[in-house]
A and B are shown apart, each in its own frame.
Chain A
Amino acid sequence: MDYAIVVALEMVRAVAWLVLLAAGLAIIFGMMRVINFAHGEFLMLGGYTVVVSTGAGVNEWVAILLLAPLVVGLFGVVVERLVIRQLYGRMLDSLLATWGLSMLMIGGVTLIFGNTVQGVATPFGGVRIGTYQMPIYNFVLIFFAAAILLAVWAVLKFTRAGLIARATMQNPNMAETLGIRTTLVYMATFGIGSAVTGLAGGLLAPVTGVVPAMGASLVGQSFITVITGGAAVITGTLSSATILGTISQGTTFWAGPVYGDAALLVVALILLRILPQGITGRIFKRAL
């Protein structure tokens, strides 16, 4: 019984993990059809923001929930203005440019902070479930994964800004002729997507530790989740994270983490074989 609860909770945590890794990328891809190849480094930047600011005595929660999204969000706005804006509609070029950016960021951060792993204290301790022990921080991750999806959904669905963002996403030219300044919408979207990524990077830092090259090990899962989900930001991220997270975590319990990672890849490949546009390309097409 206890074991079943632990397995179930671990599966939910795995789903939350993928949601956190993918949400910011999904916002930017879903709304703008731009693939941010530096996504992993945006996560890393969120992590370093937490390391640096807690090192300077800032409260850890303030660092994770406020500073990490703020710093990475602003960084995203600058990147959008200087790089992405020049390359709209040229997916390959923006891919290359953001790939270059990722190199630059890794190099820059290594130069400043060195190539060592910096730990961030994991807040809270553990909770006992029968004979098992689970970090309370897992519930924090689950909570914020849910909160991020819920917040994005509510903004898109119920606010004027969300209405304008959806119109721009569906037909930018038409939106523009209806008086919408689409360049501003794109800048804001990229900034918000980056901020969400920064928040995720901050939240994950206590678990992963922080090192300049950490992006490379996280970006794969982010991309697989987004591509498998398809263009609908919320339904896509949630459905693919749920499928991939439960199956890979289930396999991990059954056969070990190496097989878990392999299962994630295999399931994603099969899904993309059946649904080349991602889950929301065929099913849930009309969803947000």
Chain B
Amino acid sequence: MPEPLLQTVALHGGYGGKPVLQGVDIAVNEGEIVAIIGRNGVGKSTLMKTLIGLLPSQSGSVRVRGQPVDGLSAHRRARLGIGYVPQGRDVFPRMTVLENLLVGQSISGRTLEGKLAEVHHHFPILRERAGQRAGTLSGGQQQQLAIGRVLMGGPSLVLLDEPSEGIQPNIVQSIARIMVDLNAKSGLGVVFVEQNIDMIRAMAQRCYVMDKGRITAALTRADLDDQDRIRSYLSV
């Protein structure tokens, strides 16, 4: 049994004096697509930030391929092959679309042959708008840019925080399709936070339910077909 690609063990974390994560245990294997769902404010984004290293682990640990990474700053975790797409996208607004993509190369620390063409192939809009300032793109375009940006670094795992938020349904569909496609073709692992049932069902192979800083349920693919059950986890 190989080590999980990404794992947390009794992970606690939060903001300064305010604890949010109260002992989170998840494990994601190489080449899996796993959703993390839960209501507003239960700590999903906090978990993502603690995974990538923008927030420190207060206790417990985050492990990548079995190695604890709690002592590593975010850029060193990224260099282990983890791409992070935050809630709200955070494209560099005053840089062009192409420049945003080129920054993403820093994940691998070098120029990966053919990556730009590959990203343009998945997201043609990023080629059309190459010279446009990223801050002037629509929400959906910015989301595609933020995903394209991490793909430029050829990560083995991508963390997506609410990729569907504020985006037209057809773009949500196409993003889901592309992620599934990348997963099938190149074994890209994906951990995504989501509240949109369509996107959860379109992408996830399995799912963790989060509440009050803890994982309260683990759902299989079959469980995801029970829409009412999913809805009950998401609504107040």
A2 located at the interface, meaning its Cβ lies under 8 Å from any Cβ of chain B in the complex: no
Instruction: Give 1 or 0 for each of B67-89: 1 = CB within 8 Å of chain A CB.
Output: 00000011100110000101000
Instruction: Give 1 or 0 for each of A152-180: 1 = CB within 8 Å of chain B CB.
Output: 00000000100110110011011111111
Among B53, B79, B90, B94, the residue within 8 A (CB) of A174 is: B90
Instruction: Give 1 or 0 for each of B82-110: 1 = CB within 8 Å of chain A CB.
Output: 00101000101111000100111011110
B residues whose Cβ falls under 8 Å from a Cβ of A: 52-54, 73-75, 78-79, 84, 86, 90, 92-95, 99, 102-104, 106-109, 133, 149-150, 153
* B52 near A166: Cβ-Cβ < 8 Å: no
A102 located at the interface, meaning its Cβ lies under 8 Å from any Cβ of chain B in the complex: no
* A179 near B107: Cβ-Cβ < 8 Å: yes
- Give the distance to chain B from A161, nearest Cβ to Cβ, in Å: 11
* B54 near A178: Cβ-Cβ < 8 Å: no
Alpha-carbon separation in the docked complex, A175 to B86 (Å): 12
* A177 near B78: Cβ-Cβ < 8 Å: yes
* B94 near A170: Cβ-Cβ < 8 Å: yes
Chain B contacts for A180, CB-based, 8 A: 75, 103, 106
A273 located at the interface, meaning its Cβ lies under 8 Å from any Cβ of chain B in the complex: no
Chain A contacts for B73, CB-based, 8 A: 176, 181
Among A166, A173, A178, the residue within 8 A (CB) of B106 is: A178
* A167 near B95: Cβ-Cβ < 8 Å: yes
With A175-B103, A176-B73, A181-B75 as contacts: A286 and B133 at CB distance below 8 Å: yes
Q: How many A-B residue pairs have CB under 8 A?
A: 68
- Give the distance to chain A from B45, nearest Cβ to Cβ, in Å: 13
Q: List 25 A-B contacts (CB under 8 A).
A: A163-B95, A163-B102, A163-B103, A166-B99, A167-B92, A170-B93, A170-B94, A170-B95, A171-B90, A171-B92, A174-B90, A174-B92, A175-B103, A176-B54, A176-B75, A177-B53, A177-B74, A177-B86, A178-B75, A178-B104, A178-B150, A179-B107, A179-B109, A180-B103, A286-B94
With A166-B95, A177-B52, A286-B94 as contacts: A182 and B75 at CB distance below 8 Å: yes
Which of B93, B104, B106, B153 has the largest count of A CB atoms less than 10 A from its CB?
B106
Among B78, B92, B107, the residue within 8 A (CB) of A170 is: B92
With A173-B54, A178-B104, A180-B106 as contacts: A166 and B92 at CB distance below 8 Å: yes
- Give the distance to chain B from A163, nearest Cβ to Cβ, in Å: 6
Residue of A nearest to B99 (CB): A163
Residue of A nearest to B159 (CB): A177
Alpha-carbon separation in the docked complex, A178 to B133 (Å): 19
With A164-B103, A167-B95 as contacts: A174 and B86 at CB distance below 8 Å: yes
With A173-B54, A173-B74, A286-B133 as contacts: A178 and B103 at CB distance below 8 Å: yes
Tell me what chain A mostly uses at the interface: helix, strand, loop, or mixed. Answer: helix
With A163-B102, A163-B103, A171-B90 as contacts: A178 and B149 at CB distance below 8 Å: yes
Number of A residues with CB within 8 Å of any CB on chain B: 18
* B74 near A176: Cβ-Cβ < 8 Å: yes
Chain A contacts for B149, CB-based, 8 A: 178
Given A171-B90, A179-B79, 12 more A-B residue pairs with CB atoms under 8 Å apart are A163-B95, A164-B103, A166-B95, A167-B95, A170-B92, A176-B54, A177-B86, A178-B78, A178-B150, A179-B75, A286-B94, A286-B133
Alpha-carbon separation in the docked complex, A167 to B93 (Å): 9
- Give the distance to chain A from B57, nearest Cβ to Cβ, in Å: 16
- Give the distance to chain A from B11, nearest Cβ to Cβ, in Å: 18
Near B by CB (< 8 A), chain A positions 236-281 give none
* B106 near A179: Cβ-Cβ < 8 Å: yes
Residue of A nearest to B155 (CB): A179
Chain B contacts for A160, CB-based, 8 A: 102
* A179 near B108: Cβ-Cβ < 8 Å: yes
* A178 near B86: Cβ-Cβ < 8 Å: no
- Give the distance to chain B from A224, nearest Cβ to Cβ, in Å: 25
Alpha-carbon separation in the docked complex, A174 to B102 (Å): 14
- Give the distance to chain B from A180, nearest Cβ to Cβ, in Å: 5
Alpha-carbon separation in the docked complex, A174 to B54 (Å): 9
Chain A contacts for B90, CB-based, 8 A: 171, 173-174
- Give the distance to chain A from B165, nearest Cβ to Cβ, in Å: 17
Chain B contacts for A178, CB-based, 8 A: 75, 78, 84, 103-104, 106-107, 149-150, 153
Residue of A nearest to B134 (CB): A170
* B54 near A177: Cβ-Cβ < 8 Å: yes
Residue of A nearest to B84 (CB): A177
Alpha-carbon separation in the docked complex, A176 to B90 (Å): 12
- Give the distance to chain A from B187, nearest Cβ to Cβ, in Å: 21
Chain B contacts for A166, CB-based, 8 A: 92, 94-95, 99
